[in-house]
């Protein structure tokens, strides 16, 4: 008596394997994209902190930089020399996915973000594919936020979405007059998103909408800063309740 599988049994088995693969493959891709985002975001923030540290040795503390509202050369003067910049984009609004200098942003719902700080400042593309722009200034002396970095993790993306492939972080001065780049703090002194500065529901709303305030008020936070905070406060791991899909 011959042993083995009939052709119908083989085809059924292959079909079952195909169904399982079709069900699990999207989750594998999503997991991979999350992992890449986590790694690249952490690396980008570290690069900025290191550049500021090196610059402060030569150019004194950022407190003494030309960093007032509307200063467009802050990044070029103080930070770019300590990064491997490959291309400096022109100062203009670009809404063209095929242009590497494209700086038009959207929220996770597909709404275009208007009058954003990244569009008022040049975009600098590094050799590793990450890009930065910097919107300098705040009410110096009354807040701890001195400017906002926009981190583009995917140069050449078909669309830039806040909280997915573009993240915002703040240049913060702490109580010891030390400057750090982080998404965990905003303008309020001595408060962090990690310690309940906003409710979880409000953080998710701000992230999802790519906004600076919730429906109930105008807090004036950096746009979509809570997206970065949710990841950074979770040890650079995208949490389960993160509102943006990958």
pLDDT in tens, 131-143: 999 988 765 555 6
Task: Name the DSSP class of 82.
Answer: G
Q: Is it the case that residue 28 has pLDDT exceeding 70?
A: no
User: Is the model's pLDDT at 129 over the cut of 80?
Assistant: yes
C-alpha angle with apex 147: 221 to 123, nearest 5 degrees?
A: 110
The yes-or-no verdict on residue 64 having pLDDT over 90 is no
Between 2 and 75, the higher pLDDT residue: 75
Q: If you search the block for the tokens 């998404």, which residue do you land on?
A: 183
| pLDDT reported for residue 225 | 93
Q: Residue 2: pLDDT above 60? A: no
pLDDT for res 63:
77
Helices 225-232, 7-59: axis angle to 10 degrees equals 100
Q: Which residue has the higher pLDDT, 227 or 172?
A: 227
Range 153-169 average pLDDT: 92
Asked if 151 and 44 count as a contact pair (C-beta separation under 8 A), the reply is yes
Residue 29 has pLDDT above 80, yes or no: no
Q: What is the mean pLDDT of residues 158-185?
A: 87
Confidence (pLDDT) at 138: 60
Q: What is the pLDDT of residues 100-116, one digit of tens each?
A: 999 999 999 999 987 66
Q: What residue spans of 77-199 are helical by DSSP H?
A: none
pTM: 0.85
Task: Flag whether pLDDT at 216 surpasses 60.
Answer: no
Arithmetic mean of pLDDT over the chain: 84
- What local confidence, expressed as pLDDT, does residue 219 receive? 62
CB atoms within 10 A of CB 185: 24
| pLDDT of residue 240 exceeding 90 | yes
Write down the pLDDT at residue 169: 95
Q: How far is 82 from 78, CA to CA, in rounded Å? A: 8
Looking at per-residue pLDDT, the higher value among 68 and 193 belongs to: 193
Tokens, residue 117: 């700080």
Residue 117 has pLDDT above 90, yes or no: no
Predicted confidence (pLDDT) at residue 223 exceeds the cutoff of 80: yes
């Amino acid at each position: 008596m011959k042993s083995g599988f009939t052709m119908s049994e083989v085809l059924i088995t292959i079909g079952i394997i195909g169904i399982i693969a079709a069900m699990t493959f999207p989750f594998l891709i999503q997991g991979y994209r999350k992992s890449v985002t986590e790694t690249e975001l952490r690396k980008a923030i570290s690069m900025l902190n290191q550049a500021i540290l090196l610059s402060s040795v030569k150019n004194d503390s950022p407190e003494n930089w030309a960093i007032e509202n509307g200063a467009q050369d802050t990044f070029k003067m103080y930070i770019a020399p300590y990064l491997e910049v490959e291309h400096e984009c022109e100062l203009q609004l670009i809404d063209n996915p095929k242009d590497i200098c494209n700086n038009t942003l959207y929220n996770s719902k597909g709404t275009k973000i208007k009058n954003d700080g990244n569009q008022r400042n040049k975009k600098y593309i590094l050799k590793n594919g990450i890009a930065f722009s910097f919107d300098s200034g705040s009410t110096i002396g009354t807040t701890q936020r001195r400017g906002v970095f926009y981190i583009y993790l995917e140069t050449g993306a078909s669309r830039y979405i806040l909280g997915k492939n573009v993240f915002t972080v703040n240049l913060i001065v702490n109580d010891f007059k030390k400057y750090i780049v982080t998404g965990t703090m905003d303008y309020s002194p001595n408060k962090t998103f990690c310690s309940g500065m906003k409710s979880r529901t409000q953080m998710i709303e701000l992230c999802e909408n790519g906004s600076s305030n919730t429906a109930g008020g105008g807090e004036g936070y950096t746009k979509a800063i809570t997206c970065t905070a949710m990841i950074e406060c979770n040890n650079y791991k995208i949490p389960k309740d993160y509102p943006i899909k990958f």
